[in-house]
Each structure stands twice: as structure tokens, then as C-alpha cells.
Amino acid sequence: MDDLEPGDEALYRRIKAGDLVAFDILYGRYEARLFGFIMTQVKSRADAEEVFQEAFMRTLKSAEVTFEVGFKCWLFRIARNLVLNRARSSRRAENALSAMPESLPGPSAVERLAESERSLALQAAVAKLPASLSELFRLRTAGLSYDEMAAVLELPLGTLKSRFHQMVVTLREALEPWTAR
């Protein structure tokens, strides 16, 4: 973010005062990352769009808040809770991790095949993680820092780092055959 651009909290307050330009700026800042985070947890694009819109609207319609953890953490926490509520109510918790977006293909067919196999291996390894660890993976790939993830999950930073290390070790072990190639 440029030093001349207003912070998230300032934009939020401007939106509450009716400033639509501030809404466009704030929406643009989080559209891709928040939508990507939600997509990794719901079954369909339509579900992700619905959760995304609801998260953004709940965030903006809520009463004035104090930004102890920052707007981004607050927005991601609301989205996370909506996803969890949706999974609970529809009994789809075991299917919450959907396919990750496909990576760009390499220049050759062999490289594309190898990349596809690595991607599938990563998806399978993440799917085998306990829910608390796969959620860390999704938050990190959405671009959140350790402090932000701790705030979203409402965990002490030390606990989060310990779980993150556990996730990395587990994924390394699961993907060891792919790293040896």
C-alpha cells in the first residue's frame, strides 16, 4: 500500500459516512485474496461468491468497531465464521477443502504433467491434514501473516507458530517423494 493511500480503518469510517469511492478502494484491496481464501473451503464458485458477498456486507453493516486486530483480520474472521457455519449447517465439513486453482502449465507436456502431479500430491497432503492445520495452510496461501492468522483464529502467536511448524513438517513428509525428483 502506498503511503498516500488511506488505511483500511480510515476507508471503513468513510464508507460508514456514505463514501462509495472508499468502498471501491477497500473492496479492491481484498477481493482477490478473500475470495481465494473462501474458494479453498467451499464446494462451488457460487457458494464462494455468496459467502464473499455476505462477509463483506456483514463487515460493512456492523456497528462501529475498534480495530484491535486490524480490518483485514476482522474481515477474514467474519468470512471464516461464515464458512464454518455453512459447513456445519449443510454437513459438508469433510468436503470443505475444494481443489486449489490450477497452476499455469510449464512450457512442455512433461513439465505440465509433473506440475499437475505435484499439485495433486499437495492437494492430497493438505486434505489429509487435521482441520486445524489445513486451515493454517489456506490462511497462509491467502497471504496472511503469522500475527494475522493468530488474530483470525484467536490463538496465541506461540500456539499458531507451533501448529504451523507441525503443518510444514507433516507436508514435507507427505511430499518427500516429490521433492526427491
User: Domain with 156 in it: what CATH number?
Assistant: 1.10.10.10
Q: Domain boundary residue among 71, 95, 119?
A: 95
Number of folded domains that form the chain? 2
Residue 107: per-residue pLDDT: 53
Q: Classify residue 101: in a domain, yes or no.
A: no
Residue 8: per-residue pLDDT: 85
The answer on pLDDT for 103 being more than 70 is no
Q: Domain range spanning residue 69?
A: 1-95
Model pTM score: 0.59
Q: Classify residue 100: in a domain, yes or no.
A: no
**pLDDT band at residue 91 using 50, 70 and 90 as cut-offs:** low
Domain match, 116 and 38 both: no
Q: Domain boundary residue among 95, 120, 145?
A: 95
List the CATH number of the domain containing 34: 1.10.1740.10
- In the chain, what is the greatest distance between 2 CA atoms, to the nearest angstrom? 57
**pLDDT band at residue 165 using 50, 70 and 90 as cut-offs:** very high
**Residue 63: partners with Cβ closer than 8 Å, 6 or more residues away:** none
Domain match, 88 and 1 both: yes
Residue 13: per-residue pLDDT: 85
Residue 93: per-residue pLDDT: 38
Look over the chain and give the mean of its residue pLDDT values, rounded to a whole number: 80
Domain match, 146 and 89 both: no
